[in-house]
Amino acid sequence: MKTVILFYSRTRKTALVAKTLAQTVGADLVEVTDLTDRMGPLNYFRSALDAVRENKTRIEPEKIDLDDYGLVYIGGPTWASKPAPAIITLIDHCDLQGKDVIPFTTVGRNTGGQDTFTTMGNRSARQVINRMREKIEARGGRMVNSIIIATGGISDLEIEEEVKETVQELDLSIYGI
């Protein structure tokens, strides 16, 4: 069975993570677009409220055929300790029955660096992964692992290296067999 990575990215940081992950594990890549305008300060605030409330949004593609895939990665950013609305909507639109799923989320680092990330950011990201797990299992999927990548305040090259190290540390290649 093949592997696919489904993702949403507003700032392109999650896109970088997804593309690096796809190259590293040999997966197909499908980007989901949120048709709601999420750019700018006011829309950013509204987006955080939508995430907290788990409001659905219009996405493209609306449905993704997963019949050829045995392993599905689903990822997006952490917004207000919740998955982005596009990810909530995507999971609700997917038939994950019998699929192995690896959710992933990106989270910004506070200016305090790694120590601050491990307390605040990691807690928020864990909440996102837990909520994604609930939604995935409700759709018939089985979470086999999860990934959290801190993307704030570091270069694209550092993000790519972090993804590659995470794939190796979690031995993610075993799931694509």
**Residues whose CB falls within 8 Å of the CB of residue 164, separated by 6 or more in sequence, listed in order:** 20, 24
Query: Quick one: pLDDT at residue 111?
Result: 41
Query: Quick one: pLDDT at residue 45?
Result: 83
* pTM greater than 0.85: yes
pLDDT tens column, 1-29: 899 999 999 999 999 999 999 999 999 99
CA distance 7 to 76: 6
For the chain, helix, strand, coil in percent to 5 are 45, 25, 30
pLDDT tens column, 134-156: 999 999 999 999 999 999 889 99
pLDDT tens column, 79-118: 999 999 999 999 999 999 999 999 999 998 654 444 444 4
Query: Quick one: pLDDT at residue 117?
Result: 44
* Domains observed in the chain: 2-176 (3.40.50.360)
Task: Give me the torsion for CA of 51, 66, 94, 16, rounded to 10°.
Answer: 0
For range 25-51, the mean pLDDT: 89
The answer, yes or no, to whether residue 168 has pLDDT greater than 50, is: yes
Query: Quick one: pLDDT at residue 109?
Result: 65
